[in-house]
Amino acid sequence: MKEKVVTLDAAYRRFCVPSIESKGYMIENVRDVNKGRHKYIMCNGVRFCFIYKRAFFGTYSQQFQEEGVGESINVDRLFWCIDHHVDFILIGYPDGKIYAVNPNDWKQYCDSHGTYRKVIKVEYDKNWGKKVERKEATASIPINIMKRWN
C-alpha cells in the first residue's frame, strides 16, 4: 500500500521534489508563502506554486451545476501566482498524486464560467483568543481542467 502524507512539507519532499526533478528541472530556490501553506519553487527559469490539499473540492458540482469534483484557490493567491509569473500551480494530495494548471488558464476558466464564490471560514485567532469569521473569495475549476503531473 502506498504511504499517504498529511502535511505540506511531507508532500513536498516525498512527491513534489521527485516529480519536478524527474521532468528534468533543477530546483534552485524554494520559499514558503501564504503563511507557510504553499511553496514557491524556482527551477531553471520555471516557477511553480505547490499546494497540498487533503481532498478535492467534492461539492463542486453542487455549487456550480457542473459534473464531477473540482479544486479551489483563494482569489488573492491566484492573483499572486499570476503577478509572480508562476508557470504551474501544482496541487498534491495525500495519495501522492499531483495535478498541474497554469494560473492564467485557471483565471480564464473562472472568468468565462463564473466559478468565483465567497466563503466564510471560521478560524481560531490566537491574538484575540477566540474564533473569528473571515470571508474569502475563491476561484474554482473542475478537475478536468487540471493535468496529471506525476
Predicted local confidence at residue 50, as pLDDT: 98
24/2: higher pLDDT: 24
* Fold classified for 8-148: Trna Endonuclease; Chain: A, domain 1 (3.40.1350)
Predicted local confidence at residue 42, as pLDDT: 97
CB 92 within 8 A of CB 15: yes
- The H or E element containing residue 17 is helix 17-22
Predicted local confidence at residue 3, as pLDDT: 66
- Residue in 138, 117, 137, 118 with CA at minimum distance from that of residue 65: 117
Predicted local confidence at residue 30, as pLDDT: 97
| pLDDT category of residue 1 using cuts at 50, 70 and 90 | very low
CA dihedral 63, 148, 145, 44 (to 10 degrees): 120
Predicted local confidence at residue 84, as pLDDT: 97
Neighbours of 39 (CB within 10 A): 23
| pLDDT category of residue 16 using cuts at 50, 70 and 90 | very high
99/4: higher pLDDT: 99
Q: How far apart are CA 131 and CA 111, in angstroms?
A: 33
- Per-residue model confidence as pLDDT tens digits over 36-81: 899 999 999 999 999 999 999 988 888 898 888 999 999 999 999 9
Query: Phi, psi (5° rounding) for residue 103?
Result: -60, -30
Q: How far apart are CA 123 and CA 129, in angstroms?
A: 11
CB 89 within 8 A of CB 107: no
- Per-residue model confidence as pLDDT tens digits over 107-140: 999 999 999 999 887 777 777 788 888 888 999 9
Domain ranges of the chain: 8-148
- Per-residue model confidence as pLDDT tens digits over 75-102: 999 999 999 999 999 999 999 999 999 9
